[in-house]
Amino acid sequence: MERFPNITFELSLKPFKKNDPAYVEAVCRTIYSQWAPLIKISDTISFMLWTADGSEILEYRGSMKQPLEWGKYIGNPNTKHAVNSGPETLSLHERAYTYMENPPTFTYGDLKYIVTTLKRVGKELTGKPIRVGNTFDPGPEFAISKFKYESHPEICMANTMGAKSFVCCYATLNEDKTKYAGFPGGIPQGTPLGTFLGKQSQVFLTDLGFDFLWLSNGFGFGMEPWSSTGAIFDGKVFHSGEMTDVQQKILNFWTLFRKECPVFRIETRGTNLSAGIDLAGDGVDLRSIYRGGFNLLPPPNSPWAALDGDYGLELIGYMSRMAELPDERYLFRFYTHDPWWANSPWLDRYEREPHDIYLPMSVSRINRKGEIKLPTHLNFLSIDDSYGNMPDQVPNEVIPHILQGRRLAPDQPGQVVWVYPFDEYHNWAYSQPECIGEIFYGDWFIRQALNDGFPMNTVVSTSNFASLMQQGNRIFNGSVLVTIVPEAGSEVEKQLMEFVRHGGSVVVYGTAIHGSKEFLDFMNIRTDKALSGEFELTTFDCYGKTGKPEILKLRHDAKWSGGGIETVVSDTNDPSTKVLVKARLGNAERDIVVIRELMPKSKIIYVRGTNSASYRGGRLLSMDDPEKWFTGGSLMRFALSQLGYSFRYSKLSPSVSNPVNVVSRHDNGFYFAGFAPNQTTEQHIRFPQGAPIFTGMETELKDGYATYRLPKSWSKECRVFVEQNSGMVTCNELAPVEYKIKRKIRITGLKNAAIRFYPGNDETHFKAMTGNNHYPDKPDTPVSVRGSQFPGVYYEYKDITGQIVFTW
C-alpha cells in the first residue's frame, strides 16, 4: 500500500472543554490513539485548527493576553439574533447556541499552548514531523466576527449566504485607526485585503507557532464559491469582457498576500464547482494561480456531495482541478464530522456508508511522465463533532474503508479517461470570449453524465496527453478517451486521430463549430444551422434490445448548452458511419450521436449533447423534469455502450436517480465502486469481455448482462468475465490451502460459457481447474489461451460448464 506523505486531522477547539494543561494534553493523546492505524501509514502528521472563522487573524493585536473570540457555537452567530436567544422556531442558520454551558475562555496564549502541546505529544508518541495550521474562512458561520460585519463590512462583497455575507479576496479596506499586529498605526484607506491579511497572517502564524494556513470555502478563487453565478455570469448573461479585470484582481490578491506572507505554505479548499464552471462563471483563472509560484496545495474534492448528493459535481470538480497541478501534490478530503451545524456526516448524511470514500479514492491523474498519481495528502473534516465530542465509533468505522481504498488504489488508467481541456478553456476565456458559454456547458454536461452512471474516474490534461502520445507512450491503450472537439490544427487533434487509427476508441462531446475540416471529416460530420428548442429525439436502440427507434422529448436551450445543435452526418453513404441519436425540430433534423468505425476496434463517437438544466435562481442549475424530458447526460452512457461497455438500469420511474459508477484498475483486476441513491434500481452491466462477475457475489445473467441490486455503496473486485446468455453465476473466494498460493477463486453456474480471467500481476503459480474437485492432487485442467483480443493480461477458456477454480 502506498503511504500518505501527509495526513491532516481537522478539529475545532471544542474538545478542549477545560482550559487546563492536563486536560489539553489528555485530548491530544486521545487523538493520536484514535487515529493510530492511519498515522502508521503517514510520513507527516498535521492538524488544522478551526479556531474561529479567521477573524482571530484579522483581529490579532500582537499580545498573548488578548482574549480570543473562538468557535464555541452551533449555528450562525452573526445574525440579528443574539446567541442563545430567540424563539425555538428559529433555525441554526438564523441564530446560534453555545455548544456547552459556560464554555471555556481562551487567550491567544492559550491557543499557542494547544499548538505547542499537539506538536510535543505527537513527537513523543510517533517520532514523526508534526505540523499545525490555522484556517481563514470568508463567511459568517463559525464565530462572531465584528471585523467582517461591523468594522469592515465593505470586504463582504459576495452573497453566498445572503446579501454581503462572504468576504471577497480582492476587496479593499476602509480606513481604520485601530492598532493591529501587522498594522500598528492602523489601516490606511484603500488597503488591499491581500496586503492586510498577508501581514496579519505572517505575524499571527509566527507568534503562535503555526506552520501553514488553510483558505476555506473558495477564498482566493473568486467571489461566489458555492454558486453557478459570479463575477462573469449573472444567471442570464456571460459578461466575458470582465474576464481580464477579474483575473488581475485575483492574481493581485495572491501577489500582495505572498509579498507580506512569503514562506508559510497555503492549503486551499476551493469552490464547490469545477475548473471550467469557475472560470466561466466567476472568472477564476486556476492556471494562472497554479503557475504563480504561490506555494499552495490545490483544492480537494468538495464536501458538498454529502449535503446535496451531487457526486457527479464532486468528481468533475476533483478531476478538473487535478488535471494540471503546481507540482505533484494534491489532496483527498473526507467529511467525518461537522463541528458547527449539529451533524456528523459519517453517522447521518452518509448513514455510515463509504461511497464518498470509494468514489473519490478511485480517482487518479496521469502526469506528464505517464505515471498514475494518487493523492499525497489526506484530510478529515473533522475529528470532533458540534458538541466537542470525539466518539471512537467514527475512526473505528471509517479507518478500515480508508485503508482499503488506499490499498486498492488505481495503478493504471481506468476504462474511461477524461482528456480534460485545461489549457484550451483558459486560452478561450481570454482569446475567444464567445466560447465562455461552451466552457460553462462542457463541465456541466460531464457532471450530468457522471450522475447518470457514466463510469469515468481517470483524468489527464490535453497537454499531457499530447506530450505522452508524441513520446510513443502506450498508457492509454485499453482505455476509452473522452474529450471535447480539439482545436483546429493542434497536436491534441493530431494525436486523437492517431490514437483511433491505431485501434483506440474516443468519445468526443460538445459543440463542433470550432473543429477543423480535417477532424470533422474524420468523424464524418459537418455543421449546419444551429437549432434550439424542444426536439423530438430518436434513439436507434443504443442497447440493442428491440431493434426499433424510441421517440423522446429533448429540451435544448442554447444558453446553457454552448449554443444550438448544429451537427449532421456529412457523407450519408459512408458504410462505416451510423447515427445513434437524431433530434427533430419541425422539419429540420440534427444528428447528435454519431459513431464511425474505421476498422474493428478503431472507433470515434461524436456526442453533441445538451445540458438538461437551466438557471432558475439559487446556487446551481436546476435539472429538467426527467418525467417530461430526456436527460442529456445519459447520451454519454449510451455512446459508451457502443464500445462494449454497457451500463443499463431498470428503475421504477425516470425520476429515480441512477447509480453513480466508477471502474478502476489495480493489480490487473477491475474494481467497481459506486453509490445507489435508490436501492430498488437494478443494474445490468456488460463489458466487451463479457458480463463482470463480482467476487463474493451472485448474479443472474440476462441477455448476456450481469444483473445486480447493489447496496447504497459498494466496492467490488472483478477478475472474471463470462459470456453466457442466462443463468445464475456465483463467484466466491476459497481458502488457498496450497503452499505459496495467495488466492483461489471459484465460479459456478456455468453453461457452455466463455470465461476471461484476469489474475494478479504475479502469475508465478497461476492455474485453472474445472470439475468438482479443486484440490491439486487430482486436477482437471481446462485448455486455456493467453488472451489478445482485449487489453490487459487475461486467460480465456471456452465451453465451460459447471464450475472453474483459479489460483495464483
Q: Measured over all CA atoms, what is the biggest interatomic distance in the chain, rounded to whole angstroms? A: 91
The alpha carbon of residue 71 and the mean position of all alpha carbons in its chain are separated, in whole angstroms, by 29
Task: Check residue 306 and give its pLDDT.
Answer: 94
Sorted by sequence, the CB contacts under 8 Å of residue 20 that are 6+ apart come out as none
Chain segment 742-756, per-residue pLDDT in tens: 999 999 999 999 999
In contact, 684 and 706? CB cutoff 8 Å:
yes
Task: Check residue 656 and give its pLDDT.
Answer: 94
Q: For residue 694, how many C-alpha atoms fall within 13 Å in the half-sphere facing its CB? A: 22
User: Is residue 550 scored above 60 in pLDDT?
Assistant: yes
* Average pLDDT of span 381-402: 98
d(CA 22, CA 489): 68
Chain segment 274-284, per-residue pLDDT in tens: 999 999 999 99
Task: Check residue 93 and give its pLDDT.
Answer: 92
Strands (E), 51-129: 67-68, 73-75, 96-98, 106-107
- Give the pairing type, strands 622-623 and 691-694: unpaired
Q: What percentage of the chain reaches a pLDDT higher than 70?
A: 98
Chain segment 44-56, per-residue pLDDT in tens: 999 999 999 999 9
* Average pLDDT of span 565-572: 97
In contact, 218 and 138? CB cutoff 8 Å:
yes
Q: Of 575, 643, 572, whose CA–CA distance to 607 is shortest?
A: 643
Chain segment 170-208, per-residue pLDDT in tens: 999 999 999 999 999 999 999 999 999 999 999 999 999
C-alpha cell at 469: 502520445
Q: Of 694, 729, 724, 691, whose CA–CA distance to 711 is shortest?
A: 694
User: Is residue 260 scored above 70 in pLDDT?
Assistant: yes
d(CA 629, CA 614): 13
User: Is residue 722 scored above 60 in pLDDT?
Assistant: yes
Task: Check residue 771 and give its pLDDT.
Answer: 73
* Average pLDDT of span 552-564: 94
Mean confidence (pLDDT) of the chain: 95
Number of helices followed by number of strands (H, E) in the chain: 19, 44
* Average pLDDT of span 1-15: 97
Confidence of residue 552 (pLDDT cuts 50, 70, 90): confident
d(CA 74, CA 85): 13
Scan for cell 492586510, then name that residue.
196
User: Is residue 434 scored above 60 in pLDDT?
Assistant: yes
Chain segment 481-532, per-residue pLDDT in tens: 999 999 999 999 999 999 999 999 999 999 999 999 999 999 999 999 999 9
Q: Of 43, 33, 51, whose CA–CA distance to 8 is shortest?
A: 43
Dihedral sign (CA 82, 87, 88, 89): negative
Q: Of 280, 226, 247, whose CA–CA distance to 435 is shortest?
A: 280
Could you tell me the domains of the chain? 4-407 (3.20.20), 416-645 (3.40.50.880), 663-807 (no CATH)
Helix (H, G, I), strand (E, B) or coil at 440: helix
Chain segment 439-452, per-residue pLDDT in tens: 999 999 999 999 99
Render 108-145 in DSSP notation, one character per residue. Answer: HHHHHHHHHHHHHHHHHHH-S-EEEEEEE-SSSSSS--
d(CA 554, CA 445): 14
Confidence of residue 546 (pLDDT cuts 50, 70, 90): very low
User: Is residue 402 scored above 60 in pLDDT?
Assistant: yes
Chain segment 687-716, per-residue pLDDT in tens: 999 999 999 999 999 999 999 999 999 999
User: Is residue 325 scored above 50 in pLDDT?
Assistant: yes
Chain segment 579-600, per-residue pLDDT in tens: 999 999 999 999 999 999 998 8
* Average pLDDT of span 21-28: 98
* Average pLDDT of span 350-368: 98
Q: How far is CA 65 from CA 24, 108, 112, 125, 685, in A?
A: 19, 6, 11, 30, 64
Scan for cell 469481455, then name that residue.
689
Task: Check residue 95 and give its pLDDT.
Answer: 93
Beta bridge partners of 692: 721
Task: Check residue 780 and give its pLDDT.
Answer: 72
Dihedral sign (CA 47, 363, 427, 623): negative
Beta bridge partners of 458: 364, 417
Sorted by sequence, the CB contacts under 8 Å of residue 250 that are 6+ apart come out as 169, 170, 220, 221, 222, 283, 284, 285, 288, 289
Chain segment 113-135, per-residue pLDDT in tens: 999 999 999 999 999 999 999 99
Beta bridge partners of 98: 73
Chain segment 201-222, per-residue pLDDT in tens: 999 999 999 999 999 999 999 8
* Average pLDDT of span 236-265: 96
Chain segment 768-792, per-residue pLDDT in tens: 999 765 555 555 778 788 888 998 8
Q: What are phi and psi of 424, to 5 degrees?
A: -60, -45
